[in-house]
């Protein structure tokens, strides 16, 4: 039975922990997906983006 499960006792039983988990999960998932997709995009386009050519033009103080 799912009722006695560890997750149920820890999270789903109370609304407070449930909402907290959803919010934290959302933040973590979004950060992870952002970082992964940016890594894919930057790797795929290496050498073409502004970050890759910027060093030619920024005057170091």
Partner 1 sequence: MFLVNFKQFVEQKRTIIFSNFSVLFLCTADFFLIMAVVRKLGNIKLLKCRPSFISLQVCHFSNGAGTRWNIKKSMYTTIGLAVGGASALLYALEQSVKAYDWPLHPPAYNWSHSGVLDAYDHASIRRGFYVYKNVCSACHSLDFIPFRRLIDVAFTEDEMREIAAEFQVCIQDGPNEDGEMFMRPGKVSDYIPPPYPNEEAAAAANNGAVPPDLSLIVLGREGNEDYIFSMLNGYTDADDIPAGVEISEGAHYNPYFTGSVIAMAPPLYNNVIEYDDGTPATRSQLTKDVVTFLSWCSQPEMEKRKLWLIKFLILIDTSGHP
| CB of 16 or CB of 59, closer to partner 1 | 59
Cβ neighbours of residue 17 under 8 Å, at least 6 residues apart?
10, 11
Under rule CB under 8 A, residue 58 binds partner 1? yes
Q: How far apart are CA 52 and CA 16, in angstroms?
A: 45
**Considering only 4-12, 14-22, 48-56, which stretch makes contact with partner 1 by CB under 8 A?**
48-56
**Helix, coil or strand: residue 47:** coil
Under rule CB under 8 A, residue 3 binds partner 1? no
Q: Check: CB of residue 26 under 8 Å from CB of residue 32.
A: no
Residue from 16, 44, 60, 61 binding partner 1 (CB under 8 A): 44
Contact set with partner 1 (CB under 8 A): 29, 33-34, 36-38, 40-41, 44-45, 48-50, 52-54, 56-59
């Amino acid at each position: 039975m799912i009722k006695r499960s560890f997750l149920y006792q820890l999270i789903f039983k109370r609304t407070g922990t449930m909402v907290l988990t959803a919010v934290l999960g959302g933040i973590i998932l979004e950060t992870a997906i952002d970082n992964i997709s940016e890594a894919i995009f930057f790797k795929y386009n290496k050498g073409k983006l502004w970050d890759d050519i910027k060093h030619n033009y920024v005057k170091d103080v």
